[in-house]
C-alpha cells in the first residue's frame, strides 16, 4: 500500500512495454483492462486516503542524484489526488470510446505511456522529476496528434510541442535558480551547501520580493503556455482541431490541467508575495481569456474549434480561482479543473463520434440532428449544460466557488469574469442550435445512427459523474478544502511583505469566522 503511487505511475508504462508483444486484435481489450486496473488502483488510493489531513500522503522518497538533490519523491494531497483519479478515469473512458482504426496498437501503447507521464506530473514533489514527466508528456501527445490527426496534423503537433517546450525550458531556468537559491540559503557556496529539488523543502524558503517576481515570471511562462493563457493560446485550436478524438480528450481533460495545477502547486506557495502582487494582471488576463475566447468560440464554424476555444475560456475561470487567495476560490479552481476535464473530455468525445459518422465537424453540415440522434443530443445537451455551469452539474460548483472566492478580491473583476455564464451560454447554445435544432435538411444526415452500445457505455459514466458531483461534491471538496487551507496558511507564513501577509490573512480570516 505504501508504494501505491509508484505502482500507479509505472503500471501503465510497464503495461505499455508489454503491449508491444500483444496481438493487434487484442490490443484494445488489453488497453481497456490495463486502464481499468489503473482506475481501480486510483480508487483504492482514494479509499485509503485520509481526507481530513492536509499532509502529503503515501510519501515515497528515494534519492536518485543525492549530490544534486534530485530524488524520486512522490506523494498526494487533496489537491493532486483527484487529478490523478480524473486522469485514470479519462484515459479509461478515452480508450473505451476510441474509434481509431489504423495502428491501434501504437495508439494504445502511446496512451499508456501518456498516462504514466500525466500521473507522474500530478504526484511528483521533486521538481526535476516533475519537470521530467512534464516534458515527457509532450512526446506521446506529439505522436498522437501527428500520427492520427487531420490534414494539418504535423504543423499542429510541432506547434504544440515547440510552444510548450519553449515555455518549460524557461521554467527550467527558474527551477534551477530556485534550487540555487535554496542551496545558497542552506549553506554557502560550491559543494558546501545542500542541494534539494524537493518541493516541500522549497516551501520552507523565504524569498525576496524581487526574486519572487522574476521566478514567478519564469514559472508563469512555462505554465501559462500549457494552460494556455491568452495570448499564448493559439497552439490549442490547432492541436484540438487536428488531433484525433482521443487526443483532444486527453489534451483538454488532463494536459491543460497540468498548467493550472502548476500554478497552484508551485507559483502560489513558492512565491506568495509575487502571486499576490500579480493577482490583478493575472485576473485581467483571465478575464480576457473568458470573454475574448468565448467570443472567438462563438465565431467558429467547426464544432470542435468551438469546444477548443471554450476550453481556453474555462481555463480562464480556473486561473481566476487559483489567484483568489482564499479557500473558496482555490478549491473551486481545483474542482473546476476536474469538472472541465470531464465535461470537455465528454464534449470532445461527442464531437468525435459525430466526426466518425460524417467525417466533418462543420456546423453548417448539420442541423436538426436531435431528430435522428436523440440519445446523442440528450447527452450532448447535458454536457453542454454542465459546460455553461448549470447548478447541480459539476460545472456549476467550480465556477460558483471560483467567482464567490474571487469576489472577495475584486467585485468588479468578478462581475466581468462572471460574464462567462452569459458568453458561455451564447456560444454553446448557438452551437447546439445550429447542430441539433432546426430542420434536418442535409440528406447525408438523415440516416445517421444514434449512439451505439460502446459509445453509450463510455459516455454514461461521465454523465453520471457530472451529475453526482454536481449534486454531492463534498467527498471531493472536503479533501481539497483541507489541503488548500493548509496551503494558504503556508503562504501567509512565508510571505515576506507585511502587506501580503495582511492580504492573505484578510482573505483567510473571512473563512475562519464560522469555523
Partner 1 sequence: MENLVYIALFAPFVSSLFALMFVMVPKQTFVGIVASMLLFISFLASSILAYHIVMTNEVIYVRMMDWIVVGNLSIPFGFVADHVSVTMMVVVSLVSTVVHIYSIGYMDHDRSFNRFFSYLSAFVFSMMVLVMSDNFAGLFIGWEGVGVCSWLLIGFWYHKKDVTRDINPSISPSWAANEAFIMNRIADLGMLVGIFIIFWNTGSLQYDVVFPKLSEIAVISPEILITAAIALFIGAMGKSAQFPLHTWLTDAMEGPTPVSALIHAATMVTAGVFLVIRANPLFGMEEVAGVSYFIASLGTFVAFFAASMALVNRDLKRIIAFSTLSQLGYMFAAAGLGAYWIALFHLAAHAFFKALLFLGAGNVMHAMHDELDIFKMGGLRKKMRWTWGYMGLASLALAGIWPLAGFYSKDAIIESAFNEGNLILWAMLVITAGMTAFYSFRQVFLTFHGDERYKEFGIHPHEMYKYVLIGMSPLAILAVVAGWGKDWFEGFVTNLLPAYKMSEHTHHLVTTLTIIVSVFAVSGILIAAFKYIRGLKRSEKMENSFIYRLLANQYYIPQLYAEMISKPYAELSNIFWKSIDMKIVDATVDAIANIVYKSGDGSRKMQSGNLSNYLAWMTFGAVALLIAALISSVLG
Partner 2 sequence: MLGQISITMQELNLQTLIPMLIPICGGLLILIIDLIKENLHKSFYVMMTILILFVDFGSVLSLVVNDRGFFDVILVDGIAIVTQLLILVTSMLFIPLALTSKRFHEFSYPEFFALFLFMIAGFQFMVTSDNLILIFVGLETASLSLYTLIAMHNRSNSYEAAVKYFTMGAVAAGFFAMGSALIYATTGSVELYAIKDVLGERINEPGLLFVIIGGGILLLVSFAFKISLFPFHTWVPDVYEGASAPLAGYMSIVPKIATFVVALRVFGVYIDLGIEPIRIIIMTLAVLTMTLANIMALVQEDVKRMLAYSSISHAGFVMAALALGTTKGNVGIFVYYALFMFTNLGAFTMLWISRHKKRRYSLRFDHPYEKFAGLIKVIPMGAVVMALFMLSLAGVPPFSVFWGKLYVMSAAVDAGYIWLAIVMGLNSAVAAYYYLKLIVYMFLKEPNRDMNTVYYNISKPLMVIIGIAVIVTVTSVFFFQQLLSYVTYMIDYSVI
Cell triple for 66? 543525492
Question: Does 391 help bind partner 1 (rule: CB under 8 A)?
Answer: yes
Among positions 286-315, residues that touch partner 1 (CB under 8 A) are: 292, 295-296, 298-300
User: How far apart are CB 414 and partner 1 at their closest, in Å?
Assistant: 7
User: How far apart are CB 260 and partner 1 at their closest, in Å?
Assistant: 17
Among positions 329-358, residues that touch partner 1 (CB under 8 A) are: 331-332
Report d(CA 12, CA 21) in Å as an integer.
15
> Which C-beta is closer to partner 2: that of 58 or that of 133?
133
Question: Does 474 help bind partner 1 (rule: CB under 8 A)?
Answer: yes
438 binds, among partner 2, partner 1, none (CB under 5 to 8 A by kind): partner 1
Binding site for partner 2 (CB under 8 A): 63-68, 106, 128, 131-132, 135-136, 138-139, 142-143, 146-147, 153-154, 157-158, 161-162, 165-166, 169-170, 172-173, 176-177, 179-180, 183, 190-191
Question: Does 318 help bind partner 1 (rule: CB under 8 A)?
Answer: no
With H, G, I as helix, E, B as strand and everything else as coil, classify residue 65.
Answer: strand
Q: Determine phi and psi for 113, rounding to 5 degrees.
A: -65, -40
Question: Does 515 help bind partner 1 (rule: CB under 8 A)?
Answer: yes
> Which C-beta is closer to partner 1: that of 388 or that of 491?
388
Half-sphere exposure in the Cβ direction for 460 (13 Å, CA): 8
Which of 59, 209, 404, 505 contacts partner 1 by CB under 8 A?
Answer: 404
Measured CA distances, 418 to 314, 321, 404, 430 (Å):
11, 12, 10, 19
Three-class SS string for 179-199? HHHHHHHCCCCCCCCCCCCEH
b/e 396-417 (16+ beta carbons within 10 angstroms → b) = bbbbbbbbbbbbbbbeebbebb
352 binds, among partner 1, partner 2, none (CB under 5 to 8 A by kind): none
User: How far apart are CB 158 and partner 2 at their closest, in Å?
Assistant: 6
Q: Which stretch binds partner 1 (CB under 8 A): 8-16, 240-248, 422-430, 494-502?
A: 422-430
User: How far apart are CB 42 and partner 1 at their closest, in Å?
Assistant: 23
Report d(CA 14, CA 347) in Å as an integer.
30
User: How far apart are CB 6 and partner 2 at their closest, in Å?
Assistant: 15
Among positions 244-263, residues that touch partner 1 (CB under 8 A) are: none
Report d(CA 396, CA 405) in Å as an integer.
14
Location of C-alpha cell 522529476: 129
Q: Is the peptide bond before 134 cis (omega within 30 degrees of 0)?
A: no
Question: Does 378 help bind partner 1 (rule: CB under 8 A)?
Answer: yes
362 binds, among partner 2, partner 1, none (CB under 5 to 8 A by kind): none
Which of 49, 133, 202, 407 contacts partner 1 by CB under 8 A?
Answer: 407
Cell triple for 476? 471531493
Location of C-alpha cell 481555463: 315
295 binds, among partner 1, partner 2, none (CB under 5 to 8 A by kind): partner 1
Cell triple for 238? 490547432
- Cα angle value 388/394/395 (rounded, 5°): 25
Q: Which stretch binds partner 1 (CB under 8 A): 9-17, 126-134, 142-150, 438-446?
A: 438-446
User: How far apart are CB 440 and partner 1 at their closest, in Å?
Assistant: 7
64 binds, among partner 2, partner 1, none (CB under 5 to 8 A by kind): partner 2
Report d(CA 86, CA 176) in Å as an integer.
30
Q: How far apart are the first and last CA of the chain?
A: 33
Tell me if 149 sits within 8 A of 247, measured CB to CB: yes
Helix (H) or strand (E) holding 478: helix 474-494
Amino acid at each position: 500500500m505504501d508504494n501505491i503511487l509508484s505502482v500507479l505511475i509505472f503500471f501503465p508504462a510497464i503495461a505499455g512495454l508489454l503491449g508491444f508483444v500483444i496481438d493487434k486484435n487484442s490490443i484494445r481489450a488489453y488497453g481497456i483492462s490495463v486502464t481499468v486496473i489503473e482506475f481501480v488502483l486510483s480508487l483504492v488510493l482514494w479509499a485509503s486516503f485520509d481526507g481530513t489531513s492536509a499532509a502529503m500522503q503515501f510519501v515515497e522518497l528515494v534519492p536518485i542524484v543525492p549530490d544534486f538533490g534530485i530524488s524520486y519523491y512522490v506523494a498526494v494531497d487533496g489537491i493532486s489526488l483527484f487529478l490523478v483519479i480524473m486522469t485514470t478515469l479519462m484515459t479509461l473512458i478515452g480508450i473505451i470510446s476510441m474509434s481509431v482504426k489504423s495502428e491501434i496498437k501504437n495508439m494504445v501503447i502511446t496512451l499508456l505511456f501518456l498516462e504514466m507521464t500525466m500521473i507522474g506530473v500530478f504526484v511528483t514533489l521533486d521538481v526535476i522529476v516533475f519537470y521530467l514527466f512534464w516534458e515527457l508528456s509532450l512526446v506521446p501527445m506529439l505522436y498522437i496528434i501527428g500520427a492520427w490527426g487531420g490534414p494539418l496534423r504535423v504543423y499542429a503537433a510541432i506547434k504544440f510541442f515547440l510552444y510548450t517546450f519553449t515555455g518549460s525550458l524557461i521554467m527550467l531556468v527558474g527551477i534551477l535558480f530556485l534550487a540555487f537559491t535554496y542551496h545558497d540559503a542552506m549553506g554557502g557556496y560550491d559543494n558546501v551547501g545542500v542541494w534539494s529539488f524537493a518541493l516541500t523543502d522549497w516551501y520552507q524558503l523565504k524569498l525576496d520580493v524581487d526574486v519572487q517576481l522574476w521566478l514567478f515570471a519564469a514559472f508563469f511562462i512555462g505554465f501559462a503556455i500549457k494552460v494556455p493563457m491568452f495570448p499564448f493560446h493559439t497552439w490549442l485550436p490547432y492541436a484540438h482541431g487536428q488531433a484525433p478524438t482521443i487526443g483532444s480528450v486527453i489534451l483538454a481533460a488532463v494536459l491543460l490541467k497540468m498548467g493550472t495545477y502548476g500554478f497552484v502547486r508551485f507559483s502560489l506557495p513558492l512565491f506568495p508575495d509575487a502571486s499576490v502582487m500579480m493577482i490583478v494582471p493575472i485576473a485581467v488576463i483571465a478575464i480576457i481569456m473568458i470573454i475574448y475566447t468565448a467570443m472567438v468560440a462563438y465565431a467558429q464554424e467547426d464544432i470542435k474549434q468551438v469546444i477548443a476555444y471554450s476550453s481556453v475560456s474555462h481555463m480562464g475561470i480556473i486561473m481566476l480561482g487559483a489567484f483568489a487567495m482564499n479557500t473558496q476560490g482555490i478549491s473551486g479552481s481545483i474542482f473546476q479543473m476536474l469538472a472541465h476535464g470531464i465535461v470537455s473530455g465528454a464534449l470532445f468525445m461527442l464531437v468525435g463520434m459525430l466526426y466518425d459518422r460524417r467525417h466533418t465537424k462543420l456546423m453548417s453540415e448539420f442541423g436538426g440532428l436531435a431528430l435522428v440522434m436523440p440519445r446523442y443530443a440528450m447527452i450532448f445537451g447535458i454536457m453542454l449544460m454542465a459546460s455553461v455551469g448549470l447548478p447541480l452539474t459539476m460545472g456549476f460548483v467550480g465556477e460558483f466557488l471560483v467567482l464567490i472566492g474571487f469576489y472577495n478580491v475584486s467585485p468588479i473583476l468578478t462581475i466581468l469574469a462572471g460574464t462567462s455564464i452569459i458568453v458561455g451560454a451564447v456560444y454553446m447554445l448557438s452551437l447546439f442550435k445550429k447542430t441539433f435544432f432546426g430542420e434536418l435538411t442535409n440528406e447525408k444526415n438523415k440516416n445517421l445512427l444514434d449512439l451505439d452500445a460502446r459509445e453509450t457505455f463510455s459516455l454514461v459514466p461521465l454523465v453520471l459523474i457530472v451529475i453526482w458531483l454536481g449534486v454531492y461534491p463534498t467527498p471531493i471538496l472536503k479533501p481539497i478544502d483541507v489541503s488548500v487551507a493548509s496551503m494558504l496558511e503556508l503562504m501567509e507564513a512565508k510571505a515576506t511583505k507585511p502587506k501580503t501577509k495582511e492580504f492573505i490573512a484578510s482573505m483567510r480570516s473571512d473563512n475562519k469566522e464560522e469555523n
